[in-house]
Chain A
Amino acid sequence: DSGVTQTPKHLITATGQRVTLRCSPRSGDLSVYWYQQSLDQGLQFLIQYYNGEERAKGNILERFSAQQFPDLHSELNLSSLELGDSALYFCASSVGTSGTYNEQFFGPGTRLTVL
């Protein structure tokens, strides 16, 4: 158990819908990262928050957004869903952003299926 929790475990929805994925980081970690894992793209970085502020952005679609709340939990919002958004979405957390403080621990993931 990494200490990172994600809900829900599975999500099945239809095209055009909007969903919210939730992540709670390990106790003491200030950084939260979101990654997407699909069969053809591997693990792709989406976005990072550090202590409530956006710190880095990857190739995140405009239909996707995220935020980190004062209690440090984070939510990833996916809207206008398309079939191609079906993937595993992982949250990871770390103490900081560099060196040993950037050892990222991953949650169990949310499997999103868009029908």
Chain B
Amino acid sequence: GQQLNQSPQSMFIQEGEDVSMNCTSSSIFNTWLWYKQDPGEGPVLLIALYKAGELTSNGRLTAQFGITRKDSFLNISASIPSDVGIYFCAGQPLYNQGGKLIFGQGTELSVKP
């Protein structure tokens, strides 16, 4: 079935550093979403992207929908301790039945004060 490859799997950074993570797919997606999940909680929607090439920001977070429609990246600038958590990309395949989302495996972010 369809899969999303998300990298890196984990990151250990110093507070104040910038972070970048990305997702790639073997097939075309028409929507990319980025979520953050804290332990024991549900994923929280951070950014949604709908057009190839689209660049969208939400505070210190910036995400882009790749031109090929097969990839997306998320950048976090000037990281702070509360950025700790697992970040997931999710996409809606182009030829999709319903609103099903495919999720990446997640990037676990640790921030050292």
What is A's interface to B at a CB cutoff of 8 Å? Answer: 2, 4, 31, 33, 35, 42-45, 48, 50, 55-56, 58-59, 90, 92, 94, 96-100, 102-109, 111
Contacts and interface: CB of A to CB of B under 8 A. Distances in A.
A45 B42 contact: no
Contacts of B30: 98-99
A56 B97 contact: yes
A109 B42 contact: yes
- Dominant SS among interface residues on chain B: loop
B113 interface: no
B42 A94 contact: no
Interface centre among B50, B88, B101 (most CB of A within 10 A): B101
Given A100-B48, A100-B50, A104-B33, A45 B102 contact: yes
Interface string B22-53: 00000000110101000011111100101000
Interface string B5-29: 0000000000000000000000000
